[in-house]
């Protein structure tokens, strides 16, 4: 995976992708009287009619699910690549330096896991510093 691949993907995701970051109520069991629980749904996905492009995304990051999306009769076939939870965090961290349109939602995912992963965050590098360090590391490794 090269920096150009990630930058290209970030542009593709900015235009065609979607980010779902929401807290919602979910029933653990269908039996009456069972409580509902608040759960976080963290998901990033791209849906499009070009299968080869989405296959490239899936192969590039090697995570998530990839398959055909159901569409109404008479419409062109669509394909969807979707990542969720920690895979979405890794994807968000990879494309964060290049994202414009969906930057706010990407940062929500990153912030969510910084708050909930159980790691002591008293000495955290801010995102701008991370971006500069990442760029420096890419140059060191010849990527």
pLDDT of amino acid 38: 76
> Which CATH number fits the domain that encloses residue 11?
3.10.28.10
Q: For every one of its 143 residues, what pLDDT tens digit does the chain have, with 9 covering 90 and above?
A: 788 999 999 999 999 999 998 887 776 666 666 667 777 888 999 999 999 999 999 999 999 999 888 878 888 889 999 998 889 999 999 999 999 999 999 998 888 887 655 555 555 556 666 666 655 554 444 54
Q: Is the C-alpha dihedral spanning 131, 123, 86, 109 positive or negative?
A: negative
Number of domains in the chain: 1
d(CA 78, CA 80): 7
d(CA 52, CA 42): 25
**Spatial CA neighbour of 137 closest among 107, 77, 93:** 93
pLDDT of amino acid 139: 46
Give the domain range for residue 114: 3-140
d(CA 122, CA 124): 6
b/e 29-68 (16+ beta carbons within 10 angstroms → b) = eeeeeeeeeeeeebbbbbebeeeebbebbbebbebbebee
d(CA 87, CA 93): 10
């Amino acid at each position: 995976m090269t920096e150009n691949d990630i930058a290209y993907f970030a542009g593709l995701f900015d235009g065609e992708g979607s980010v779902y970051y929401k807290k919602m109520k979910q029933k653990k069991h269908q039996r009456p009287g069972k409580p509902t629980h608040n759960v976080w749904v963290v998901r990033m996905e791209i849906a499009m009619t070009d299968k080869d492009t989405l296959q490239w995304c899936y192969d590039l990051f090697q995570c998530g699910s990839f398959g055909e999306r159901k569409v109404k009769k008479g419409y062109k076939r669509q394909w969807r690549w979707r990542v969720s939870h920690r895979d979405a965090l890794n994807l968000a961290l990879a494309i964060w330096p290049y994202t414009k349109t969906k930057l706010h939602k990407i940062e929500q995912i990153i912030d969510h896991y910084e708050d909930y992963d159980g790691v002591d965050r008293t000495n955290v590098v801010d995102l701008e510093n991370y971006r500069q360090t990442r760029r420096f590391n890419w140059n060191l490794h010849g990527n």
